[in-house]
Chain A
Amino acid sequence: MLEIRNLSFAVHEDDRQKEIIHDLNLTIEDGKFTVITGPNGSGKSTLARLIMGIEKPISGSILLDGEDITALDITERAKKGISFAFQQPVRFKGIRVKDLLRLAAGKRISVSEACAYLSEVGLCARDYIDREINSSLSGGELKRIEIATLLARKTRLSVFDEPEAGIDLWSFQNLIRIFEKMRAEIRDSAIVIISHQERILQIADEILVLADGRISEKGTPAEILPRLIGQSAPVSACQKLQ
């Protein structure tokens, strides 16, 4: 279980401190598929990065299974069982798909094991296992490889930052299938997805709506979706301007 207590985060802009996350509280329970949604600029990706330790909060705390991990760095949090899929997967010159999967698994997994993770995300392992993770791969391919690294890690909390961003429609259909499978197989681990996509929101156990750095609503898709759909954003533009 992940608990976030009174978490605030700010950036410096033109010598002024601008708060992105305000005194945020939430709980992510095990065995659940939680989707965090909200308008652009609401702080969704920042929240995901705070959970992984990529950003540091100005106040508040983060607890994993009751242990305060606020002071831990990225590596330590990764070792405690948190994994993170980037909105824009990172490219590497010279590092191959199988190298990244081995690093993710934390041991020298066999080629056939590595292939199993690739097949899971709908990539033909034979074509990809020796490919470099460089600009020769498309956005959709990179995204799926990114997800395969999380599968290889088998951690207790997986955070996906906008997995649908930058991928084409065809890849998107596959992506949904991957998440549906993950949700079906979820046991004592937890999955958090930052997303705008209705299809992803539909398969959530719980939806958290983030607006202006706070949780504005939470509930099941049946409770939240009707209010979100037909509205361009959970917060109207006029309300934001006021």
Chain B
Amino acid sequence: MVQLDAIQKRLIEEIADLHSVPAGAYNFRANSKLAGRNTTANIDIVSKPDGSGIDIHVKPGTKNESVHIPVVLSESGIKETVYNDFYIGEGADVVIVAGCGIDNCGSQDSEHDGIHRFYVGKNAKIKYVEKHYGSGDGRGQRILNPVTEVYQEEGSSVEMEMEQIKGVDSTERTTLAELKADARLVVKERLMTHGSQNAVSTYRVNLNGAGATADVVSRSVARDESSQTFNARITGNAPCSGHTECDSIIMDKGRILAIPSLEANDVDAMLVHEAAIGKIAGDQLVKLMTLGLTEQEAEEQIINGFLR
């Protein structure tokens, strides 16, 4: 049974597109307490004995199942660090939806630091979706500092979608990945900051086995007086291929620092990085205005498309 109030339900909708209790395994956490849990024959969720988080075990060969682990904070002044460890069995193929929504109407800061570790078995495949959302008009800050660690066995595949579009005042995201032979990692990050928000996103990807591939792509928009730092490094320690790209739209008095970097320790490592920062192109605005949109509507459409 999941017990959530109206604000918590709204946050869940924002971060997990969930309008009701999902099918499959789930673990809902609201204001630092367990609000509901379901396990299936193939996916088990157990609390860590010391109460610091949960362990999620996906049996080898599990196919077409999903795990939802949303977290919502609707009281002001909560500060928590949670450790969630995922053990994905060989050959499994699952979707994991995480995410954190904070509604802070109070004057104290609310902070959720989720540390997610993924141990992905041989030839297993996961799609991991993480959304962050903040709301509430209190003076208290909404802070999220997620750490994601991914350990990929041979032939495994991980696709990650990270999205933070609204309302988070401060975020420092760190993603570390270690890939063995023929493992594949694809990261799609979408970020928008506004007001005086600050976001830092750091990636360290190590391609350790022959045939490992990584593609880390970030698209971001910095509006108002917000600032962003994107710092991604791909290290090739074997014959492998890696690509990182950071594409940003800067608006108003926003600030963006992009630091893509590459390190090759093997002659057959093929690594590429790209970074671009610029304001919305004038001809894009003009084109949409010739279709009858106002300048502001045109801007919204361009940003919505860019962050899709």
Contacts and interface: CB of A to CB of B under 8 A. Distances in A.
Contacts of B3: none
B291 A103 contact: yes
Interface in B272-290: 281, 283-284, 286-290
Given A84-B290, A103-B293, A149-B291, A90 B283 contact: yes
A95 B307 CA distance: 10
B13 interface: no
A83 interface: yes
Contacts of A52: 290
Nearest to A88: B283
B286 A106 contact: no
B51 interface: no
Contacts, number: 58
Interface string B249-293: 000000000000000000000000000000001011011111111
Contacts of B307: 94
11 contacts: A75-B289, A75-B293, A78-B290, A89-B287, A90-B283, A90-B287, A93-B219, A94-B308, A103-B288, A103-B293, A153-B292
A90 B292 contact: no
B292 A94 contact: no
Kindly list the 6 A-B residue pairs having the minimum CB-CB distance in the complex, ordered from nearest: A94-B305, A95-B305, A78-B292, A74-B289, A90-B287, A94-B308
B295 interface: yes
A99 B305 contact: yes
A79 B294 CA distance: 10
Nearest to A80: B292
Contacts of A137: none
Nearest to A99: B305
Point out which of B288, B289, B291, B307 has the most chain A C-beta atoms below 10 A from its C-beta. Answer: B291
Interface of A: 52, 54, 73-75, 78-79, 83-84, 86, 89-90, 92-96, 99-100, 103-104, 106, 149, 153
Given A52-B290, A75-B292, A78-B290, A103 B301 contact: yes
B115 interface: no
Contacts of A95: 301-302, 305
Contact of B284 (A78, A84, A92, A103): A92
A104 B292 CA distance: 8
Interface string B136-151: 0000000000000000
Contacts of A106: 291-292
B159 interface: no
B5 to A, nearest CB: 34
A82 to B, nearest CB: 8
Given A83-B291, A86-B283, A103-B291, 5 more contacts: A54-B286, A73-B289, A74-B290, A90-B281, A92-B284
B178 interface: no
Given A78-B290, A84-B290, A103-B291, A92 B283 contact: no
Contacts of B295: 75
Contacts of B291: 78, 83, 100, 103-104, 106, 149, 153
Contacts of B289: 73-75, 78
Interface in B222-247: 247
A86 B281 CA distance: 15
B307 to A, nearest CB: 7
Nearest to A101: B291
Nearest to B307: A94
Contacts of B292: 75, 78-79, 106, 153
Contacts of A100: 291
A151 to B, nearest CB: 12
A83 B290 contact: yes
A93 B293 contact: no
Nearest to A104: B291
Nearest to B308: A94
Interface centre among A83, A86, A95 (most CB of B within 10 A): A95
A92 B305 contact: yes
A141 to B, nearest CB: 16
A86 B247 CA distance: 25
A92 B302 contact: yes
Nearest to B290: A84
Given A90-B281, A103-B288, A75 B305 contact: no
A65 B191 CA distance: 47
Nearest to A106: B292
A104 B293 CA distance: 9
A84 B281 CA distance: 18
Nearest to A78: B292
Contacts of B308: 94
A93 B247 contact: yes
A96 B302 CA distance: 11
Given A75-B295, A103-B301, A94 B290 contact: no
Max count, chain A CB within 10 A of own CB: residue among B287, B293, B295? B287
A149 B291 CA distance: 8
Contacts of B219: 93-94
